[in-house]
Amino acid sequence: MGKGFFKVPPAINEPVLSYAPGSVERENVLKAYKYMYNSTIEVPIYINGKNIKTGKTQTMSPPHDHQHVVGIYHTANKSHVEQAISTALEARKTWSQLPWEQRAGIFLKAAELIAGPYRAKINAATMIAQSKTVHQAEIDAACEFIDFLRFNVQFMTEIYNDQPQSTNATWNRIEYRPLEGFTYAVTPFNFTAIAGNLPACMALMGNVVVWKPSDSQIYSAKVIMDVFEEAGVPAGVINVVFGDPVMITKTVLSSPDFSGLHFTGSTFIFKELWKQIGVNIHNYKTYPRIVGETGGKDFILAHQSAHPKQVATGIIRGAFEFQGQKCSAASRAYLPKSLWADIKAHLLEDLKSIKMGGPEDLSNFVTAVIHEGAFDKITGYIENTKSNPAVEIIAGGGYDKSKGYFIEPTVIVTTDAKYETMCTELFGPVITIFIYEDAAFEETLELIDQTSEYALTGAVFSTDRYAANVATRALENSAGNFYINDKPTGAVVGQQPFGGARASGTNDKAGSAQNLLRWVSPRMIKETFVTPEDYRYPFLD
């Protein structure tokens, strides 16, 4: 920054709109949904600011109506990926030298575009592509994405402000340089905000990016690219390639200029990518940064002092919103015997009122799961339980994929605390409950800690402060985001920085300055004012 210490607008979380009957936002989103649902679009790949139609296409269909086509997208071949890399490296020459306030201006503008003219469109696209209810689309595609964009600008200035001490004789300065080379963003289907944030936050810090979105999120990724383009992201700074993930990733990770991976998705894939980076390590010009936020097997624990209705609500919202397809979704619960009858009654009562269907009907709380692969996997686990004497399905268990990939919110109760659905990430609307003896609270804490390879989110419900404290201490390494008397989902940017440890990821906390720090390589500059001209120190006399 040359001519002023500029202050950025203070970041404030975007208010979540209600979409209540009669509201303007409800009318706008339903209009956008109807229009988009009944038209078709063609999504190109984006290289050097150009829309490239490769001619090799795939269709896009909503998970809640899989025979209905809303468009096609073009897929990249190896030479497109190579072009994306070389164009990014070319763009780096100017982008990395652009003053930070210019980069900030672009992403603050993107936030405003989403908050205003693009809000209905990005929400409707997320309802269509990922089958989110309007509320789930609003908290993700609009609010969380806006928050990422605004808060990241504030975090960037906090990082830049972090400077070492100087003396009268020397002036010490740190420059937060972007990584040398290009970065790679690989994003999951389940959050439009994550899809936009992963490439955007690296670009904000001065990096250039090759971005590979999930095949199941391309319809809403297109809106993100439209926003970036209108906000003024220059050609070549964020290049988007769709298609074969193995080929794209292999091509990217083989480049000597690869300098950072920003991944969100499943644990197995992340480990595979890490392995490939390891194999290529001797070819890289710099040690690549590796950030990955991955799977979870998130828990709810109730102490005997908890309120049964609060626990039941935490389970319903935590396990079944967005069909349990949040990395933070509650998928195992540990409930005390003394409260079980009450909690069960509330759960069954609430579940009776839950409607399932397409997101265009705003009275539906549950919609479809993302694709046939997910449907088959989740229903396979449900079927297994039906023949196992250690488990009982007390609610749901039904499914139907004739029109969309619909699975009823399903509650399994098990007497086997290590039953497969207590340990494995299903990523669907299924929760498994284990009932423990009230006196076995502390053993149950150990059980929770030892049951799964993951450590993403977890919640304890307790009105007893001592019990809450014991749980908080015992579960220190069991969750990167730990909740007391709340469901384990719904982290808000700037309020609850998000990420887990163990197999759940590198815990670089999306929604905080810690994440942005991974995308810079500080350069220390020491300037001495009166430079010594004699090598001898006084002690030598």
Q: At what angle do helices 119-130 and 218-231 cross, to 10 degrees?
A: 160
327 binds ligand NAD (CB under 6 A): yes
| Residue ranges in 54-83 that form contacts with ligand NAD under rule CB under 6 A | none
Query: Which residue number, 258 or 441, has a Cβ lying nearer to ligand NAD?
Result: 258
189 binds ligand NAD (CB under 6 A): yes
How far from 263 is each of 186, 193, 199, CA to CA, in Å? 5, 14, 10
Mask for 203-242, x = binds ligand NAD (CB under 6 A)? ---------xxxx---------------------------
At its nearest, how many Å lie between ligand NAD and the CB of residue 499? 6
Q: End-to-end distance of the chain based on CA atoms, in angstroms?
A: 46
Task: Dig out the tokens for 140 from the structure.
Answer: 């993700």
- The residue from 14, 140, 293, 350 that contacts ligand NAD (CB under 6 A) is 293
Q: Are 511 and 491 in contact (CB under 8 A)?
A: yes
Number of alpha carbons in the 13 Å side-chain half-sphere of residue 371: 10
DSSP for 149-206, written as a single string: HHHHHHHHHHHHH------SSEEEEEEEEEPSSEEEEE--SS-HHHHHHHHHHHHHTT
Query: Catalytic pick from 138, 143, 327, 425?
Result: 327
Region from 127-135, 139-147, 182-190, 471-479 binding ligand NAD, contact rule CB under 6 A: 182-190
133 binds ligand NAD (CB under 6 A): no
Integer Cα distance of 400 and 412 in angstroms? 19
- CB neighbours (10 Å) of residue 82? 16
190 binds ligand NAD (CB under 6 A): yes
DSSP for 424-458, written as a single string: S---SSEEEEEEE-GGGHHHHHHHHHHH-SEESEE
Q: Are 224 and 250 in contact (CB under 8 A)?
A: no
Query: Which residue number, 14 or 508, has a Cβ lying nearer to ligand NAD?
Result: 508
187 binds ligand NAD (CB under 6 A): yes
* Amino acid present at 101: E
How far from 376 is each of 268, 277, 380, CA to CA, in Å? 19, 32, 6
At its nearest, how many Å lie between ligand NAD and the CB of residue 427? 5
Task: Dig out the tokens for 396 from the structure.
Answer: 């749901």
- Binding residues for ligand NAD, how many (CB under 6 A)? 30
488 binds ligand NAD (CB under 6 A): no
136 binds ligand NAD (CB under 6 A): no
245 binds ligand NAD (CB under 6 A): yes
Query: Which residue number, 215 or 486, has a Cβ lying nearer to ligand NAD?
Result: 215
- Give the residue closest to ligand NAD by C-beta: 265
Query: Catalytic pick from 293, 360, 408, 425?
Result: 293
- The residue from 211, 375, 427, 461 that contacts ligand NAD (CB under 6 A) is 427
Task: Dig out the tokens for 346 from the structure.
Answer: 């509330």
Query: Which residue number, 327 or 339, has a Cβ lying nearer to ligand NAD?
Result: 327
- The residue from 505, 509, 512, 516 that contacts ligand NAD (CB under 6 A) is 505
- The residue from 191, 334, 406, 434 that contacts ligand NAD (CB under 6 A) is 191
Name the helix (H) or strand (E) containing 325: none
Mask for 337-376, x = binds ligand NAD (CB under 6 A)? ----------------------------------------
Query: Which residue number, 266 or 521, has a Cβ lying nearer to ligand NAD?
Result: 266
Q: Are 428 and 471 in contact (CB under 8 A)?
A: no
Answer positive or negative: Cα dihedral of 460, 461, 467, 469. positive
Integer Cα distance of 381 and 375 in angstroms? 10
Query: Which residue number, 58 or 266, has a Cβ lying nearer to ligand NAD?
Result: 266
Tell me which DSSP letter residue 405 carries: -
At its nearest, how many Å lie between ligand NAD and the CB of residue 165? 36
Does 293 participate in catalysis according to the annotation?
yes
At its nearest, how many Å lie between ligand NAD and the CB of residue 226? 20
Q: Are 363 and 332 in contact (CB under 8 A)?
A: no
At its nearest, how many Å lie between ligand NAD and the CB of residue 141? 14
- The residue from 188, 206, 314, 359 that contacts ligand NAD (CB under 6 A) is 188
* Amino acid present at 14: E
- CB neighbours (10 Å) of residue 265? 22
At its nearest, how many Å lie between ligand NAD and the CB of residue 132? 13
Q: Are 448 and 459 in contact (CB under 8 A)?
A: no
Query: Which residue number, 441 or 454, has a Cβ lying nearer to ligand NAD?
Result: 454
Integer Cα distance of 214 and 157 in angstroms? 31
Query: Which residue number, 272 or 383, has a Cβ lying nearer to ligand NAD?
Result: 272
249 binds ligand NAD (CB under 6 A): yes
461 binds ligand NAD (CB under 6 A): no
The distance from CA 493 to its chain's CA centroid, rounded to whole angstroms, is: 11
406 binds ligand NAD (CB under 6 A): no
- The residue from 84, 186, 201, 368 that contacts ligand NAD (CB under 6 A) is 186
Region from 143-151, 173-181, 189-197, 394-402 binding ligand NAD, contact rule CB under 6 A: 189-197
Q: Are 13 and 492 in contact (CB under 8 A)?
A: yes
Integer Cα distance of 311 and 105 in angstroms? 44
Task: Dig out the tokens for 465 from the structure.
Answer: 């402060």
Integer Cα distance of 111 and 96 in angstroms? 21
- The residue from 196, 296, 324, 409 that contacts ligand NAD (CB under 6 A) is 296
Active site members: 293, 327
Provide the binding-site residues for ligand NAD, judged by CB under 6 A: 186-191, 194, 212-215, 245-246, 249, 264-266, 269, 272, 293-296, 327, 425, 427, 456, 498, 504-505
